[in-house]
Amino acid sequence: MGTDLLIYNIKKIYAHLDNRPLCGNDMEKVEEIEDAYIAIKDGKILAAGKSPAAISAKEKIDAKGMIAILCDVYTLE
Q: How far apart are CA 2 and CA 41, in angstroms?
A: 8
Domain boundaries 2-70, CATH class: mainly beta
pLDDT for the residue 27: 76
pLDDT for the residue 5: 95
pLDDT for the residue 42: 95
The answer to whether the beta carbons of residues 3 and 39 sit under 8 Å apart is yes
pLDDT for the residue 63: 95
pLDDT averaged per 10 residues, the chain (length 77): 91 81 77 92 90 86 92 60
